Amino acid sequence: MRRALAALALLTCTLSALLVGAQVNPYKDGTPGVTGYRSEVLAEVMIQEDKFLRLAEAIPAEKYTWRPTPDTRSVAEVFLHVAVANYNLYKLVGTPPPAGLEVKGFDKSTTDKTKIIATMKDSFAHARKAITAMPDTDLDKSLDWFGGKNTERGVLLFVVRHAAEHLGQSIAYARMCGIVPPWTEDAQKQQKQQVPPKAKS
């Protein structure tokens, strides 16, 4: 019983630390102007945006060309792949990509950290705009999808899942480069502040 209570206390402290350290909390602050399912999607996109940008800032510029094996994307390419998906996939729910955007080769267009972070910021702004502009009445609209059918609701789910997969990949890349994700650092600092100092004997 004591072990169970100790585990529960640790879990509570960890969750509290994560929420305190987080810069963005749409579950608390809401998603103004968006309700229902689109609000749930937007909340996830906002959290992903925050984590991607914080991680991109934390990774040194010289690591942007790093890749675990020759046949995988580099750090820069993963970030740009997520950005181009934000620009391109939301056309399926009514918001076209910016004029002149060339999807092919976009993920290899630059390795400059400053440009990549700016591109990611713009792409997530595009995503938020697309979700906000989409009418709830369109959520159940059907469209052709990978040889079958899907709804626009399903497209939103896919876009969130796609970004989440690459966030996990980026976290693993950062760890392999010796970078602790900033939100994990926040939680660790918070935990240290909550642990009382040991009394001297």
pLDDT tens-digit map of 108-138: 999 999 999 999 999 999 999 999 999 999 9
Tally the domains of the chain: 1
Mean pLDDT across the chain = 89
Could you give the CA distance from residue 162 to residue 146 in angstroms, rounded to a whole number? 15
d(CA 138, CA 171): 34
DSSP 3-state of 25: coil
Reported as a single tens digit per residue, the pLDDT across 17-74 is 444 444 789 988 889 889 999 999 999 999 999 999 999 999 999 999 999 999 999 9
Q: Does 53 map to a domain? A: yes
Q: 100 in a domain, yes or no?
A: yes
Domain range for 106 is 29-184
State the alpha helices, DSSP H only, in 90-151: 113-133
Residue 200 belongs to a domain: no
In a domain, 105, yes or no: yes
CATH code where residue 163 lies: 1.20.120.450
φ, ψ dihedrals at 68, nearest 5°: -70, -35
The answer, yes or no, to whether residue 10 has pLDDT greater than 80, is no
Q: Per DSSP, what are the bridge partners of residue 143? A: 150
pLDDT digits (tens, 9 = 90+) for 102-112: 999 999 999 99
Sign of the torsion angle spanned by Cα atoms 162, 168, 171, 173: negative
What pLDDT sits at residue 21? 47
- Is 96 inside a domain boundary? yes
